Structure 1
Amino acid sequence: MTAPYVVTIAKYGTRSTLRSDVYLNHHLYHEADGPIDMDYFFWVIRNDETTIVVDTGYSRQGGEARKRTTLMSPPELFAALGVDPATSPDIILTHAHYDHMGNLDHFPSSTIYMSRVEYEFWTGANAKQVLFHHSIEDSEMDGLAAAFAEGRVRFLDESPEIAPGIEVIEIGGHTPGQAIVKVDTAVGVVLLASDSAHYYEEYEADMPFMAVADLVRMYDGFALVREMVASGEVQHVVSGHDPSTLDRFTRVDGELHALVATVGEVR
C-alpha cells in the first residue's frame, strides 16, 4: 500500500495589482475597485518513495521582465526544500504559462506530464501571436521543447497515472489544457487547483479570471471544484495564486516560515 503524501506549498514570488486587472469584466460586479495581491507558487508532492514536482515557477529573468517580485528564485527554493534535480523527479505541468514552467531546464532529466491539448496549442500555428500578446518570450518554451525532443514529455491521455494516489484531471478554461491535481494525504484528499482557481473567490462566487481561453469551460471548472468539495471527494483546496493560501495550511518552522506551508503532515 502506498504511503500517503505530504504536499508542500512553496511561495516564490508576489505582486500587487487591482481587482479590475484580475477579474474579467470586473465592472459588472458593481463593486468598488481596490488593491489585490497575487502570490506565485509551485508545489511538491512527497512520501517515503516518491517526489513529484508540480510546476516550476517563473525564471528570474521572466519575473523581472514582468515586474514581478521574486522572494526566492525557484531553483534556490527547490534546493532549500531538498528537491534535487539529479534525482530526476517527475514533473506535472498544470499548464504552459511562464510562471508555471519557467525553470524546466533546472530539471534536465525529469519526465514531464502534461495535457496533449496544452502542448499542441503552445507549439501550434497560433502560438506566436499568443506568446507575443502575453509578452512570453520564445526562450521560455525552450525547456519544454528540449524535453519533448528528448522524449521526456508524457501526455495525460497516454499516461493517466503518475503514481498511485495522484490523479491529474484536464479541465481547460484558463488555458486549453489547464489541469488540476488530486493527492491522497493522511488528512484527506488535497486538490491542487492551480490556475483553475487563482483565488478562492473565483470558484466560490463564479468570478472568472481575466485571462481565459474558454469561458464556458472555466465556469465548468468552478462547478467541478465546488462539487468535489460538497461531495466530500476533496477535503482541502489549494489555490493557484491567492495570498491567503499559506495561512490556510501548516506553516513550516525556521527560515522558510514565510514562504512554505504543508498539508497532509500528521504531527
Structure 2
Amino acid sequence: MHEWKALAIHYGTAQRPVSDLALEINDLHEAASRIDYFVWLIRLPNRLILVDTGFNAEEGAARGRTLLIHPVAALSRLGIEHSDITDVVVTHLHYDHAGNLPAFPKATFHIQDREMAYGTGRCMCHERMRRPFAAEGVVDAVRLVFQSRVCFHDGEAEIAPGCKLHLVGGHSKGLQVVTLTAGDALLVIASDALHFQSYLTNDNAFPLFADYAEVMEAYNKLRILAGRNGLIIPGHDPVVLDRFSALATDLPFARVLL
C-alpha cells in the first residue's frame, strides 16, 4: 500500500468567469478562470477520515460543473470501500461539500451546531443565501441526525489524536477547517475558508459568503493555525495539482499532502 497520511482527491472542475470567483476584480477584461473541486482523505491508526463528500453527476451538471470522478469511485480506485470510512467531517453543507452523505453507511458525521442551524433555518428563506445549498443534501444531513450518526461540535474539537476541527464561519455560518499534526508536520485543510491561495496575500474573497468580516478573520485564523511551518491547503485552487505529487501514475486524481 502506498505511504500517505493525507490526500487531496481532485474530483471535479469548472471554467467560470472571473466575477464568479473573486469579489475584487483588478483586471477589467473578464476571462474564464478555473475552479477545482476536492475532498480530502486522512488515514490514522484505526481511523479513516473523509473531509467532505463532494457532489454527484446530477448536481454537478445542473450547476455547470464537470464531475471528473465520483468521490466514492475515487475511494474504490484507492482500494477503500465506502464502508471503510469511519468518520466524515462536513466542513459545511454546500452542495459541493455535502453531497453523497448516504454513501458512507458506517461513518460518524462531524458538523458544527451553527452550520446545521444555518442550513435548516430562516436564512434559507433568502435565495442568495440558499443558492449554494442543495435541499436534498441538507435533508440527508437531517436524516443522519435522526439516525444518531451525527456528532455535533461547538467550536474546536479533537476527533482523533492529532486531528482537530476549528470553527471559522464566514463563507458559511458554521464552516469548519481541519488540522492534522503528524510528527513535525502540520497540515491545515482550509476547505472554503480559503478558496484560492492568493487570497491570503491580496485579501480577496470568494463572492458568496454569509459574513464578510468572518471571511477576513478566517484568513488570520488559518495563519495562526499553520504557524511558521504548517501547510495551508486551499479548497478550490488548481495550484494544489501543481504543488503536490500524484500518489501514483494510475491515480492522478489523488495528491499526497502528507
TM > 0.5 between the two?
Answer: yes
Secondary structure of the structure 1 residue equivalent to 2:198: helix
User: Match of 1:239?
Assistant: 234
Say if 1:131 and 1:138, in contact at 8 Å, map to a contact too: no
Distance 2:75 2:128 in 1: 27
User: Match of 2:246?
Assistant: 251
TM-score normalised according to structure 2 size: 0.91
Distance 2:244 2:138 in 1: 33
Secondary structure of the structure 2 residue equivalent to 1:63: helix
Say if 1:22 and 1:209, in contact at 8 Å, map to a contact too: yes
User: Match of 2:162?
Assistant: 165
1:212 deviation in Å?
Answer: 0.8
Distance 1:59 1:47 in 2: 27
User: Match of 1:85?
Assistant: 82
Distance 1:227 1:21 in 2: 28
1:91-130 → structure 2 map (5 Å cutoff): 91-130=88-127
Say if 1:5 and 1:184, in contact at 8 Å, map to a contact too: no
1:67 deviation in Å?
Answer: 1.4
User: Match of 2:205?
Assistant: 208
Amino acid at match of 1:256: L
Amino acid at match of 2:82: P
Segments of 4+ moved more than 6 angstroms: none
CA offsets 1:21-50 (integer angstroms, 9 cap, x no match): 211143xx3554322100000000003422
Question: Are 2:217 and 1:220 aligned?
Answer: yes
CA offsets 1:136-179 (integer angstroms, 9 cap, x no match): 44222232111111111111228822101011100001000111
For structure 2, which runs of at least 5 residues remain unmatched after alignment? none
Distance 2:90 2:248 in 1: 28
TM-score normalised according to structure 1 size: 0.88
In terms of mean alpha carbon deviation, does 130-139 or 71-80 score higher? Answer: 130-139
For structure 1, which runs of at least 5 residues remain unmatched after alignment? none
Question: Are 2:19 and 1:24 aligned?
Answer: no
Say if 1:118 and 1:175, in contact at 8 Å, map to a contact too: yes
Question: Are 2:144 and 1:147 aligned?
Answer: yes
User: Match of 1:260?
Assistant: 254
Say if 1:204 and 1:222, in contact at 8 Å, map to a contact too: no
Q: Number of residues paired by the alignment?
A: 256
In terms of mean alpha carbon deviation, does 103-112 or 30-39 score higher? Answer: 30-39
Secondary structure of the structure 1 residue equivalent to 2:166: strand
Say if 1:54 and 1:91, in contact at 8 Å, map to a contact too: yes
Distance 1:244 1:158 in 2: 29
Distance 1:202 1:134 in 2: 23
Say if 1:113 and 1:153, in contact at 8 Å, map to a contact too: yes
Distance 1:255 1:88 in 2: 22
Secondary structure of the structure 2 residue equivalent to 1:78: helix
Say if 1:198 and 1:241, in contact at 8 Å, map to a contact too: yes
Say if 2:165 and 2:176, in contact at 8 Å, map to a contact too: yes
Amino acid at match of 2:77: A
Amino acid at match of 2:217: D
1:111 deviation in Å?
Answer: 0.9
